[in-house]
C-alpha cells in the first residue's frame, strides 16, 4: 500500500490528526467576504455581530470568544460568544472607531463547565457524588497551580476550607457561580482551536448613509454659463430638501475636438458647451477647472460653503480624455490607435463616442500614478467623496491598488462605483474597495422585482460588502416608469429609494418631475449633458416638500440608515409594496406601504407583524403616522389601507409596548 497521501506521507497525516486543536471545529464564520479575502464593510457606531458554527466530538461543553483588535491597536480584546442554537454561536461588539478592524474566533473544550453541568444533573437526580467532589477538587487545585493574581487568591479561598466541608457543601461550592467564574478565568483551554483572521472596514457615516443631489454647475447662471459662485447661492435650497452631498459631473476643461452638440449630435453648433465627460483641452486636463466655471479659489469657496451647511462635495472622476487632452501629446504611448494610425475612440457598439478616448492601462505604470495624483489633487482642495464613471471598464487591479493607496493616506475618502453591468462585476468592484455602488433599482418597479432585489441586497453575504446607492434618475437615464407616470410616479420612486436604502440620490429636475424623453429611449430630450438648462425651482407642482419630509424622516429614524433590517409583509394586492424596517437595539417597527400604480388608487388588506413580538392576532396597538403626525390604533392582525396617486405612500411606527 502506498504510504503517500495527497497532502504528504501517512506519518505526517497522523501527526496532523493527533493535533489537539483538531477536535474543535470552527466553520461558516460571518461576516466573511469570500472567506476573508476581502474586508466586510460597516459604519462607525454599528454593532459588529460575529457568528460561527462551533462544535466538537463527544459530549463536552465548549467555550468560545471573539478575539478582536481595533484599528492601530496593539492589543487584542476578548469578547465571549454564546451558543444560540444547533451549534451556531454568536458574539457582538460596538465599532466605535473608523479604520480596519481584525477579528478571529477561538474555541476550546470547557472542561470545568462540562464537569459542573454533569454534576448538577446528577445532584438533581439524587445520585451519590463523592467521586465528583474529589474530581472537582482536583480540577480546582490544578487551576490554582497555573493561576496568578486575584484569580489565584479566589481559587485558594475555595480550597482552604475544603476538608472541613460536608459533601453537600462541597458540591454546592463546586456548582457556585463564583467558582465557575474563577475556573473560566483560569481555564487552560484544552484542545484550543483558532480561526484565521478576518477584517472589517469601518467607515464614516456618509459612506453608508447619505442623500445625494446631482447638478450641472453651468446651468445656474441665468442667461449665461453658470459658475461655482452661482452654485453657492443654490446650496440653501438643496440643503432645505435634506440633501447632504452635492454631486457634480466632471468640472474639468471640455475638449473642442469632436465636441458633441445638443441631444448628442455629432456636430456641435456655435456656443454648444459640449459634454463634460469629454475631458481636457488646451486649458488643462483632470487637475484643471473648466474656465467658465470659475477659478480654483472659487471652487474652494464652494467646498467651504457646503461644509458650513454640514454638506460635502462629491466629484465625478471619469478616466477618459477628449482628443485634445494634454496627455495625448505629453504621453502619446498611453493611448491605443487603429491600424491606420487614427485615434481609437471609446465605443459601446453600436454606440461610438467620438469626443472621448480611453487610455491603455498597461502601457505604462506612470499612467496609474498620474491618475492616482488626480484624486490626491482634489483631496488637497477639500474633496473626500468621488463618483467614479464606468469603473468596470478599467482593470480591477488598478482600482484595488488606487483605493488602498488613497485610503491609507485619507481613511475618510469615499468612492462610489458608477457601474451598470453584470452583478458579479459590480460585486467585485465593491469587494476591491468601492464604498458605494450604483444598482439596478432604477429598473425595478414591480412588487416582485423589488422584493426579490431587496432581499438579495439586504442579505449576507452581499450585504456585508455591497452598499447599494439608489439613484432615482441620472443625466443619462430617464426611466420608462417616470416618462409615463406623472407626478405620482416621482413620489413613488422617491419614497422607495429614501426608505429602502441608506444611500439614495437624484439628478436635478427630478423634483420638478421632468420626464420628456427621446422617443423610444431611456434618455432625456434636450439632455443637460449637452446643453445649459434653466429651470424654475419654485414651480408650484414641485415635489421638493415631499422630498424634504422623506429626508427629515431618514435623519430622525435610525431604521432607514441601512439596507439591512428589512422584512416584506403580506399586502394582498400586487400593486402595493409593504415592508418593515428595524434598527439595532429597537423593538419598534417602521412600516412602509407604497402604491406602485401611479395612475389608480389601490387598496388591500394587510398584516401587522404581531407574531414578531409574540402578540396574539387580536391585540390592539397604538400606531403613529410619521408623515401626518398623529396617532391612532389598530386592533387585530388584519387591517385595510387605501393609497391614492396623490399620496401614494404611508409610513407608520408600531411599538409592541404601545398597547391601545
Active site residues: 389, 418
Give the helix/strand (H/E) hosting 450. Answer: helix 447-458
Q: 111 and 119 in contact (C-beta within 8 Å)?
A: no
| Maximum Cα–Cα distance across the chain | 106
Which residues of 522-575 form beta strands (DSSP E)?
Answer: 566-568
Contact at 8 Å (CB) between 606 and 600? no
Pick the closest to residue 511 from 540, 547, 482 (CA basis): 547
Peptide bond preceding 31 in cis form (omega within 30 of 0): yes
Q: CB of 271 within 8 A of CB of 224?
A: no
Asked if residues 589 and 654 have their Cβ atoms less than 8 Å apart, the reply is: yes
- Reading the block at residue 363, the C-alpha cell is 502601457
CB 328 within 8 A of CB 285: no
Beta carbons of 99 and 43 less than 8 angstroms apart = no
Cell triple for 457:
441586497
Total residue count of the chain as it appears in this document: 660
Task: Give the CA count within 13 Å in the CB-facing half-sphere of 188.
Answer: 12
For 300, the 3-state DSSP assignment is: helix
**Residue 583 and residue 561: Cα distance in Å, rounded?**
8
C-alpha cell at 207: 459612506
Take residue 123 and report the three cell numbers written for it: 445532584
| Look-up of cell digits 430622525 | 556
**233 is written with which cell numbers?**
447661492
Q: Measured at the alpha carbon of residue 522, what is the angle toward residues 517 and 526, in degrees to the nearest 5?
A: 35
- Read off the C-alpha cell for 319: 478616466
Distance CA 138, CA 454 (A): 57
CA angle 637, 638, 640 (to 5 degrees): 140
**What contacts 73, CB < 8 A, 6 or more positions away?**
none
Q: Cα(first)–Cα(last) distance of the chain, in Å?
A: 78
Amino acid at each position: 500500500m502506498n504510504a503517500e497521501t495527497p497532502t504528504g506521507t501517512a506519518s505526517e497525516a497522523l501527526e496532523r490528526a493527533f493535533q489537539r486543536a483538531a477536535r474543535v471545529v470552527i466553520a461558516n464564520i460571518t461576516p466573511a467576504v469570500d472567506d476573508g479575502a476581502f474586508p466586510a464593510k460597516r459604519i462607525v457606531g454599528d454593532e459588529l455581530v460575529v457568528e460561527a458554527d462551533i462544535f466538537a466530538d463527544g459530549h463536552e461543553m465548549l467555550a468560545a470568544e471573539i478575539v478582536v483588535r481595533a484599528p492601530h491597536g496593539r492589543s487584542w480584546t476578548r469578547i465571549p460568544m454564546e451558543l444560540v442554537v444547533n451549534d451556531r454561536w454568536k458574539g457582538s461588539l460596538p465599532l466605535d472607531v473608523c479604520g480596519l478592524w481584525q477579528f478571529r474566533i477561538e474555541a476550546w473544550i470547557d472542561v470545568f463547565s462540562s464537569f459542573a453541568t454533569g454534576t448538577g444533573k446528577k445532584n438533581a437526580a439524587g445520585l451519590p457524588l463523592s467521586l465528583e467532589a474529589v474530581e472537582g477538587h482536583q480540577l480546582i487545585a490544578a487551576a490554582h497551580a497555573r493561576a496568578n493574581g486575584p484569580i489565584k487568591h479566589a481559587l485558594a479561598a475555595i480550597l482552604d476550607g475544603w476538608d472541613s466541608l460536608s459533601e453537600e457543601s462541597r458540591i454546592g461550592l463546586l456548582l457556585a457561580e463564583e467558582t465557575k467564574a474563577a475556573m473560566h478565568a483560569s481555564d487552560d483551554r484544552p484542545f484550543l482551536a483558532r480561526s484565521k483572521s478576518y477584517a472589517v472596514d469601518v467607515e464614516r457615516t456618509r459612506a453608508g448613509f447619505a442623500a445625494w443631489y446631482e447638478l450641472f454647475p453651468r446651468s445656474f447662471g441665468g442667461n449665461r454659463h453658470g459658475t461655482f459662485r452661482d452654485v453657492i447661492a443654490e446650496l440653501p435650497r438643496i440643503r432645505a430638501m435634506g440633501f447632504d452631498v452635492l454631486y457634480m459631473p466632471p468640472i474639468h476643461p471640455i475638449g473642442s475636438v469632436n465636441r458633441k452638440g445638443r441631444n448628442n449630435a455629432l456636430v456641435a453648433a456655435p456656443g454648444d458647451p459640449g459634454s463634460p465627460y469629454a475631458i481636457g483641452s488646451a486649458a488643462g486636463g483632470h487637475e484643471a477647472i473648466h474656465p467658465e466655471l470659475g477659478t480654483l479659489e472659487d471652487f474652494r469657496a464652494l467646498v467651504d460653503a457646503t461644509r458650513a451647511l454640514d454638506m460635502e462635495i462629491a466629484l465625478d472622476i471619469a478616466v477618459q480624455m477628449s482628443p485634445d487632452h494634454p496627455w495625448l501629446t505629453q504621453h502619446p504611448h498611453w493611448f491605443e490607435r487603429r491600424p491606420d494610425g487614427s485615434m481609437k475612440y471609446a465605443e459601446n457598439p453600436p454606440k461610438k463616442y467620438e469626443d472621448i478616448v480611453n487610455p491603455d492601462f498597461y502601457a505604462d505604470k506612470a499612467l496609474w500614478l498620474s491618475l492616482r495624483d488626480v484624486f490626491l489633487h482634489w483631496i488637497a482642495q477639500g474633496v473626500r467623496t468621488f463618483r467614479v464613471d464606468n469603473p468596470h471598464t478599467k482593470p480591477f487591479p488598478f482600482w484595488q491598488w488606487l483605493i488602498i493607496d488613497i485610503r491609507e493616506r485619507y481613511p475618510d475618502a469615499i468612492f462610489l462605483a458608477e457601474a451598470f453591468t453584470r452583478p458579479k462585476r459590480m460585486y467585485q468592484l465593491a469587494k476591491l474597495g468601492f464604498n458605494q455602488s450604483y444598482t439596478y433599482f432604477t429598473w425595478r418597479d414591480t412588487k416582485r422585482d423589488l422584493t426579490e432585489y431587496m432581499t438579495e441586497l439586504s442579505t449576507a453575504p452581499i450585504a456585508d460588502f455591497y452598499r447599494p446607492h439608489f439613484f432615482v434618475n441620472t443625466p443619462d437615464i430617464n426611466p420608462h416608469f417616470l416618462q409615463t407616470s406623472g407626478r405620482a410616479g416621482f413620489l413613488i420612486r422617491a419614497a422607495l429609494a429614501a426608505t429602502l436604502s441608506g444611500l439614495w440620490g437624484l439628478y436635478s429636475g427630478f423634483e420638478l418631475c421632468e420626464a420628456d424623453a427621446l422617443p423610444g429611449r431611456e434618455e432625456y430630450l434636450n439632455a443637460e449633458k449637452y446643453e445649459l438648462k434653466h429651470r424654475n425651482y419654485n414651480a408650484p407642482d414641485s415635489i421638493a416638500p415631499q422630498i424634504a419630509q422623506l429626508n427629515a424622516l431618514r435623519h430622525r429614524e435610525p431604521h432607514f440608515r441601512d439596507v439591512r433590517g428589512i422584512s416584506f409583509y403580506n399586502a394582498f394586492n400586487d400593486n402595493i409594496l409593504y415592508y418593515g424596517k428595524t434598527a439595532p437595539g429597537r423593538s419598534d417597527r417602521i412600516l412602509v406601504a407604497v402604491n406602485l400604480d401611479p395612475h389608480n388608487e389601490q387598496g388591500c388588506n394587510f398584516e401587522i407583524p404581531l407574531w414578531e413580538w409574540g402578540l396574539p392576532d387580536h391585540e390592539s396597538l397604538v400606531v403613529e403616522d410619521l408623515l401626518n403626525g398623529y396617532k391612532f390604533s389598530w386592533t387585530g392582525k388584519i387591517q385595510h389601507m387605501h393609497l391614492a396617486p396623490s399620496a401614494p405612500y404611508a409610513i407608520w411606527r408600531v411599538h409592541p409596548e404601545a398597547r391601545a
